[in-house]
Amino acid sequence: MEIKDIIIVVLLILYPLIIFIYRTWIENKIKYSVKKNYDELLENYKRELEIKNKASLMADLLSEWLCFPEKQQRLNQLSFEAFLWLPKEITKDLSNLLAHKPAAKNVRQIISDVRNHLLTKDQQIDPNDIIVFTQENKTIIEQKKK
């Protein structure tokens, strides 16, 4: 057997192996790329869900607090849950508000601070853009009508 024949035989043996390795490499690259994309989508979904749950908890807490409920079990539960995840500064501000301290931030400012904590900077809003319905609003409207 000549060297030429040996090279041809070796190539005939190696060619399918090279094709198999290349195909496997491409399949794995595609598989991991798709997996990475799905993992990122799942993480984004989990984060959005967490933000919605925390936002809902804060909305429940503040709306319950504004109603001055006689039974305060639910109010305590909501405030305790909020204090477990809120950052220190917002926790202090919320404590001052719930305790009716004179220099406390108002509900709008607290909601805005929590929103800023949960969302990105481009999602920030002016606290005055937040609407809060209270009995005071009803009284003011009635006085304007008179």
Question: What is the tens place of the pLDDT at every residue in 49-94?
Answer: 999 999 999 999 999 998 888 889 999 999 999 999 999 999 999 9
Q: Can you give the pTM of this predicted structure? A: 0.69
85: Cβ contacts below 8 Å, ≥ 6 apart? 54
Domain positions in the chain are 3-133
Q: How far apart are CA 86 and CA 15, in angstroms?
A: 61
Q: How far apart are CA 108 and CA 137, in angstroms?
A: 14
Nearest to 91 by CA among 67, 62, 121, 114: 114
Q: Is the pLDDT of residue 142 over 90?
A: no
How high is the pLDDT of residue 97?
A: 95
Question: What is the tens place of the pLDDT at every residue in 8-52?
Answer: 888 888 988 999 999 999 999 999 999 999 999 999 999 999 999
| Helix (H) / strand (E) containing 76 | helix 73-85
Q: Is the pLDDT of residue 138 over 60?
A: no
